[in-house]
Amino acid sequence: MEDGNITVQQMMTRRVHTIGPSNTLLDATALLRRNHISGLPVVDSRKRVVGVLSEKDIARALSDAGELSLTPCGLLDVMIHTKEKEGPTRSSKEDRDDPLRMFDECFRSVKVEEVMSRDPLVVDPEMSIDVAARMMLDRNVNRLPVVQGQRLVGILTRHDVLAAWELA
């Protein structure tokens, strides 16, 4: 710690859930849901960060697939309303135009590397938490992969930053 500042290393989450670029959106959404998180660093076989995948990236990909304007909350809305329409009276035309079916196909066929945010902003573990928080604010990101050399060693989230400010 220099000048009494809290460092990224002191507040980062060390157990980082990651995904590979060749995984599908179905794999990614299952990992997000299972771990109650909203984004993942995308790493190659050497644990180098090659991108970040967030719920926003997934919603954007599904919007493109379904030709809808969709946010993560909007996705839930579409899925609920589509489920309400299901039943024995659906025609094959309705089935072909079903947004939920299009989303399912997208989840199963689209690779993480196709929709991830490339060239992610990363931080060093020794960086001041204040500097990292300013970077998050300026770039409008919710998480920063923490790298030492080129290897992922942690992740700094908005939650981690808030926890640091409680300590200060």
CA atoms within 13 A on the CB side of 16: 27
User: What's the pLDDT tens digit per position in 35-44?
Assistant: 999 999 999 9
For residue 68, what is the DSSP state?
S
| pLDDT tens over the chain, length 168 residues | 344 589 999 999 999 999 999 999 889 988 998 999 999 999 999 889 999 999 888 888 777 665 555 554 455 554 444 444 444 544 454 555 566 666 667 778 889 999 999 989 999 999 999 999 999 999 999 999 999 988 999 999 999 999 887 776
Nearest to 37 by CA among 21, 20, 55: 55
- CA distance from start to end of the chain: 13
- pLDDT for 90 equals 47
* C-beta of residue 154 within 8 angstroms of C-beta of residue 146: yes
> Residue 54 forms beta bridges with which residues?
39
For residue 134, what is the DSSP state?
H
Pairwise CA distance, residues 46 & 13, whole Å: 20
- pLDDT for 29 equals 87
- pLDDT for 165 equals 79
Distances (CA, A) of 155 to 4, 68, 131: 22, 32, 15
* C-beta of residue 69 within 8 angstroms of C-beta of residue 118: no
pTM, to two decimals? 0.76
Q: Which value, in Å, is the radius of gyration of the alpha carbons in the chain?
A: 19
| Count of Cβ atoms closer than 10 Å to residue 154 Cβ | 21
Q: Mean pLDDT score of the chain, rounded to an integer?
A: 81
Residue extents of the structural domains in the chain: 8-167
| CATH fold for the domain made of 8-167 | CBS-domain (3.10.580)
